[in-house]
């Protein structure tokens, strides 16, 4: 699996999302098995959040990484309403308990909320000094937020990015690339909705004996500094996602995608889910 550097650490360009995991006890075994299969396939970056299943997803992740913690680059997120000096320390402690680990490798502010960014940064730095987190970053921040943050220690920004949501290509992505700050693309498959049924993606997939989802992942990874974190529980999906890192799109493929999903020509508000 191809890797890129995130604040001094090599991480795989394709990871595993966990939204919607940990919501139904009857699904627990499948979800744990899926994450473990993903790790074996090289999808060693796992993205979770205290919000997902109100802690349930972190519990699933904790179970999946038991005995293999050191193979995994673990990302979790703090709710904005917990991103204060005291609140973040307590929230992080709860996440560590659920994840059954002593360290979160990358801890993100899920989105901007009521606390000043400077206060959240102070709380992140304290957790870093204590060794409870390796690095910190943000999510759902646009370029103005990052300029206001003005923090070289911000290790990543996680935003909505797929062919239907290309706004970040205008200013945010180029800026992050210049800063060497990886961009984590969430909902990379558009949650497997109408995006994957778009005819051009199907035609490109056929030319490569691939699937539309693989084409979308290869398209996201065509550029430096991008990590995609598809969520998959289906074993076949995990295998396809891992293999997508090796798929090379041609100039013709890229032009066809541009014709179907226009690249941005001006600044637009950050898309979010």
Ligand X SMILES: NC(=O)c1ccc[n+]([C@@H]2O[C@H](COP(=O)([O-])OP(=O)(O)OC[C@H]3O[C@@H](n4cnc5c(N)ncnc54)[C@H](OP(=O)(O)O)[C@@H]3O)[C@@H](O)[C@H]2O)c1
49/59 Cα distance (integer angstroms):
10
Q: For 150-210, where are the alpha helices, taking DSSP H only?
A: 172-179, 199-207
**Minimum separation from the CB atom of position 265 to ligand X (A):** 25
Least separation in angstroms between CB 71 and ligand X: 19
**How many residues bind to ligand X according to rule CB under 6 A?**
28
Binding of residue 76 to ligand X (CB under 6 A): no
Q: Look at the block and give the residue holding tokens 């206001």.
A: 148
Rounded to 10 degrees, the C-alpha dihedral 83/86/89/90 comes to -100
**Binds ligand X (CB under 6 A): choice among 191, 200, 203, 268:** 191
Cβ distance 228 to 130 under 8 Å? Answer: no
Burial class of residue 255 (count of CB atoms within 10 Å of its CB; 0-12, 13-18, 19+) = exposed
Q: Does 148 bind ligand X (CB under 6 A)?
A: no
Tokens of 205: 């997939």
**By CB under 6 A, residue 186 contacts ligand X:** yes
When asked if residue 219 is in the footprint of ligand X (CB under 6 A), the reply is no
- Binding status of residue 136 toward ligand X by CB under 6 A: no
Please confirm, yes or no, whether 52 is among the known catalytic residues.
Answer: yes
The correct pick among 7, 13, 19, 91 for binding ligand X (CB under 6 A) is 19
Q: Is 59 in the site for ligand X (CB under 6 A)?
A: no
Asked if 187 interacts with ligand X (CB under 6 A), we say yes
- Please select the residue that binds ligand X; options are 83, 154, 204, 213, rule is CB under 6 A: 213
At residue 98, what are phi and psi to the nearest 5 degrees? -65, -35
- Give the integer Cα–Cα distance in Å for 1 and 41: 8
- Identify which of residues 240 and 247 has a Cβ nearer to ligand X in the complex: 240
Rounded Cα gap, residues 120 and 264, in angstroms: 32
Return residues touching ligand X (CB under 6 A): 17-19, 47, 110, 139-140, 158, 186-192, 196, 211, 213, 229-234, 237, 240-241, 273
Residues designated as active site: 52
């Amino acid at each position: 699996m191809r890797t890129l550097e995130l604040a001094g650490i090599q991480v795989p360009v394709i990871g595993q999302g966990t939204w919607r995991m940990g919501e139904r006890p009857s699904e627990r075994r499948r979800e744990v098995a899926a994450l473990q299969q993903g790790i074996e396939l090289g999808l060693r970056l796992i993205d979770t959040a205290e919000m997902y299943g109100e802690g349930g997803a972190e519990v699933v992740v904790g179970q999946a990484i038991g005995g293999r913690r050191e193979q995994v680059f673990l990302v979790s997120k703090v709710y904005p309403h917990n991103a204060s000096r005291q609140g973040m320390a307590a929230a992080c402690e709860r996440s560590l308990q659920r994840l059954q680990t002593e360290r979160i490798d990358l801890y993100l502010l899920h989105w901007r909320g009521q606390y000043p960014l400077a206060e959240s940064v102070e709380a992140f730095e304290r957790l870093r000094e204590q060794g409870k987190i390796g690095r910190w970053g943000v999510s759902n921040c646009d370029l103005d937020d990052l300029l206001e943050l003005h923090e070289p220690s911000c290790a990543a920004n996680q935003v909505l990015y797929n062919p239907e949501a290309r706004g970040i290509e205008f200013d945010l992505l180029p800026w992050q690339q210049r800063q060497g700050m990886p961009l984590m693309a969430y909902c990379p498959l558009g949650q497997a909705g109408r995006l994957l049924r778009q005819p051009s993606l199907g035609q490109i997939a056929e030319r490569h004996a691939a699937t539309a989802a693989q084409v979308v992942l290869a398209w996201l990874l065509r550029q430096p500094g991008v990590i995609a974190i598809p969520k998959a529980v289906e074993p076949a999906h995990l295998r396809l996602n891992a293999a997508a890192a090796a798929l090379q799109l041609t100039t013709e493929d890229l032009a066809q995608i541009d014709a179907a999903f226009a690249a941005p020509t001006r600044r637009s508000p950050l898309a979010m889910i």
